[in-house]
Amino acid sequence: MSSVIKPLPNEVVTPAADFPVLMRRMTSEPSIVVRDRSPWFYYNKPITFIVMGGLVFFGGIILTALYFKHVDVPYALGPVCLSIGLMFLITGIVWIPIIKQTIRYNGLLRKKHLRKSRAACSSSV
């Protein structure tokens, strides 16, 4: 009987001609390579936070306006949606520069390790 839980696909793949952009991972096995990730891989969560926060914030504006027009709306629902939506919106907006900095830092580290490995390979030959 096979297991119901299936392992997630690993980011490490073997070299193939199908992948035009491949980057070598610094491991003990030189034949293992990693695919370069798209920007959506890094930015999907903050963009989702921004969109959902904007929608909830806009809904809070509408509910607050309806309350002040004396439509039968719960009195606290508008301000609660305003505050929660604004919280998610600001969190997503602040998250984007943090991700940019992390990507830049990881790229610099990768370049630094590549230089060290090339220097080590050329000195050992």
In a domain, 49, yes or no: yes
Given a cut of 70, whether residue 8 has pLDDT beyond it is no
Inside any domain, residue 25: no
Kindly state whether residue 110 falls inside one of the protein's structural domains: yes
pLDDT, tens digit, for every residue of 91-107?
Answer: 999 999 999 999 888 88
In a domain, 12, yes or no: no
Asked whether residue 10 carries a pLDDT value surpassing 70, the answer given is: no
pLDDT in tens, 19-33: 444 444 444 544 444
Q: How many domains does the structure of the chain reveal?
A: 1
Structural domain including 88 reads 43-118
Mean pLDDT confidence for 28-49: 75
Domain-located, residue 100: yes
Instruction: Look up the pTM and report it.
Output: 0.62
Question: H-type helices in 1-76, by residue range?
Answer: 39-68
| CA-closest candidate to residue 11, choices 1, 30, 25, 31 | 25
C-alpha Rg value of the chain to the nearest Å: 24
Tokens of 67: 């309350």
Question: Do the Cβ atoms of 32 and 12 come closer than 8 Å?
Answer: yes
